[in-house]
Amino acid sequence: MPINAALTERSNGCCELCSSTNELSIFEVPPVKEPNSDKSVLVCSTCFPQIEKTVEMDNNHWRCLNDSMWSQVPAVQVTAFRLLTRLSKAGEVWAQDLLDMMYMEDEQKAWAEYGVAADEIEAVAPTRDSNGVVLLAGDNVTLIKDLEVKGGNFTAKRGTPVRNISLTDNPEHIEGRVNGVRIVLLTTYLKKMPLFEDK
């Protein structure tokens, strides 16, 4: 079943975080090697930009996590945990109270804490794509121009996807696999991949 259809069925056509039905889209919960519904959540146009940090967080909006944190869907739980952690660090006592009540299996907890660690790294030295969008380890990007790969004897074409990237010590570089070869790429030639849409 296509990802969008699977998520719509799972969520009954509502945002899996706040239950809104407004402009729903797919958010892949990093790290994601291959897009699938188990690693994604369906979110509305209010939640999405706040999760992506392209707009300031509306702390009161996220009181909806009081309900969604109990979801049986691991990706929803992980997203709720990461958001509550951000809110708690911003001084929201209620968010810490909810975190103290949360229970997750070890595998889900590790997945959730991966995102918290990525947030901490990002706060020190964010890695951004050509549009200024923050990149995290596990994100998927595309090339925005043809790049000659030195030592690889090939040209990586514009539009080539690079999945599951790794960050480096330099915020202007990422590592990724192109044509089966692991290479370092300049972030100025990359664009974070749009949400995985089903045709």
For the stretch 143-187, pLDDT in tens is 999 988 877 788 889 999 999 998 887 889 999 998 888 888 999
In this structure, whether the domain defined by 128-192 belongs to CATH 2.30.30.40 is answered with yes
What three-state secondary structure class fits 129? Answer: coil
Give exposure, 69-95, as e/b (b: 16+ Cβ within 10 Å).
bebebbbbbbbbbbbbbbbbeeebeeb
Predicted confidence (pLDDT) at residue 195 exceeds the cutoff of 80: no
Angle between helices 93-101 and 74-89 (to 10 degrees): 140
N residues, the chain: 199
Stretch(es) of the chain classified as CATH 2.30.30.40: 128-192
- Cα dihedral across residues 59, 63, 66, 69: positive or negative: negative
**pLDDT tens digits for range 46-63:** 999 999 888 889 999 999
Residue 198: per-residue pLDDT:
42
Q: 127 pLDDT band (50/70/90 cuts)?
A: confident
**pLDDT tens digits for range 82-121:** 999 999 988 999 999 999 999 999 888 889 888 777 666 5
